[in-house]
Structure 1
């Protein structure tokens, strides 16, 4: 069990590097750092010409490949050791499936030129892979009795709220990825409006500006939904440390997400802040996924009564 815990933590942290590495590739324009060949760079085992873009792209490929091996080992070991837990086998399959899907989409983007709207799916797939691995890790620690979530029952109306918030979050994540892939990060020089001196002057917006402002509007709505859901669930489940602590953390993460989103514009796309922005939404979605898992348990319990 000790090995499984260490391996699950390593896989989760490694997936954080995969996610931020993918964001780094996009934000630094390093997607073509290895040319149009995959998995080799420019068709060479040892590249003859080293550029910063090549180093970033190749590093991302190496980290992703290494994590693929670790995730497969984790999935097999979890299946064998704690496969009796209801969700483990499905999560083991999903963690490997979506990691492979992520790699194939990344490879296709390198070998064949892809539409920006298709490329934006890549981050969403990576997010599902990360969430699956994070949930496996939480289940490992739950089995080891590091915290108690089995006794928690979430009411149906609150389960529906969690499901809806999670689906909407995924759509907002897609819109954010679309902003990056269409290079629309800095098409609006002001915040929160594209032009604070004329906020309603929409007639001359370019496609990129509509994408940027669409993402800001969607993110603003997400903040309001997450805020109201957090306050309601914290109030209704004061007896549960898992619900109370989890939703306080969710509220903190969505607040930080809004702050870093504004700072990206105000700092003219500071790379560190941009990567932190991608990391925070990944953690936010991962936590929501855990509450989806807990909600599904409550729904199963309700059906059996």
Structure 2
């Protein structure tokens, strides 16, 4: 029992650490600190520890340190979970995914520093980190389920909700990618009005940057509507299943918060703190949606 208690706290620390990696990466991008250490990796400006500290160096080097430290936690968590709860069918797959995608995002980050990458490739960086975060989050939830399963061992999900769950989860990754593309192409303020691009008049985007910005807004609007429909359906038909009911209610709250912070980001001309909240909400939403997919995979029958 004490062994499991330590594993739980370690899993929580690893999950929080992965969130810090995600937000740290967003901070690097939003503050244009990616070249804070020059074309040097893993060192910084030709040194193991930089002697000259500028805001850009501090942000970039701190992100690397956090990624390295949390990376060790993730590897330990993966091995520990494999040995402790490897009998649970999802454990080994999630442990592998957590480590694999953590390493992959680190390699893409290193490649950007050493050789540079196109905006469309860089936009994948956040999404790859997000997959690792989701895997760590699900591992943590599995560890907590060992002692208290709530009602997740009695899940009954109908075909309609199953397809909605899988579809909106896949689609959420597209929303994440378009948001990352907005950041990496510097399209954040190309449209100064909200919800339309300018002058509160509907017109087609006039250049690639407007297409990127308005494409992301359209994608965000669709996932907001989609999750609202799912939430209404669940409230009507799944009141007897707490994990399903509250999971989708929280998902709708998170997507609402994401839309609101996205609007505020535009109206405040890219306020850094609001922009980081925007990244936080979409990260939590994606993690929650992957958990709903896990519950779908456990569903015994359909309604």
Q: For this structure pair, what is the TM-score category when the shorter chain's length is used for normalisation?
A: over 0.9
CA distance in 2, matches of 1:147, 1:107: 42
Q: What is the aligned-residue RMSD (CA, Å)?
A: 1.2
Segments of structure 2 that go 5 or more residues without pairing to the other structure are none
Match of 1:2 in 2: 5
Q: Which moved more, 1:277-286 or 1:226-235?
A: 226-235
Segments of structure 1 that go 5 or more residues without pairing to the other structure are none
Q: Which moved more, 1:152-161 or 1:249-258?
A: 152-161
Aligned 8 A contact 1:234 1:243 in 2? no
CA distance in 2, matches of 1:100, 1:27: 23
Aligned 8 A contact 2:157 2:301 in 1? no
From 11, 16, 27, the counterpart of 2:14:
11
Q: Quick one: structure 1 residues 291 and 48, their matched pair in 2 at CA, closer, same or farther if it must change by over 3 Å?
A: same
Match of 1:209 in 2: 210
TM-score, normalising length: structure 1 = 0.96
Match of 1:222 in 2: 223
CA drift of 1:302 comes to 4.9
Listed as ranges, the matches of 1:53-64 within 5 Å are 53-64=56-67
Match of 1:26 in 2: 29
Q: Alpha-carbon deviations, 1:35-84, whole Å to 9, x = none?
A: 01111101201213211000000000000100100011111111111110
What is the SS of the residue equivalent to 1:17? helix
1:259 paired with 2:263, answer no
Listed as ranges, the matches of 1:248-287 within 5 Å are 248-287=249-288
1:180 paired with 2:180, answer no
CA drift of 1:285 comes to 0.5
Q: Alpha-carbon deviations, 1:175-227, whole Å to 9, x = none?
A: 00000000000111100011134322x36x12111100111011111100011
CA distance in 1, matches of 2:23, 2:200: 34
Aligned 8 A contact 2:156 2:301 in 1? no
Match of 2:101 in 1: 98
From 154, 167, 175, the counterpart of 2:157:
154
CA distance in 2, matches of 1:262, 1:8: 34
CA distance in 2, matches of 1:49, 1:67: 25
> Runs of at least 4 residues of structure 1 off by over 3 A?
none
CA drift of 1:134 comes to 0.4
TM-score, normalising length: structure 2 = 0.96
Match of 1:244 in 2: 245
Pairs aligned (count): 299
Match of 1:70 in 2: 73
Aligned 8 A contact 2:78 2:95 in 1? yes
Aligned 8 A contact 1:260 1:273 in 2? yes
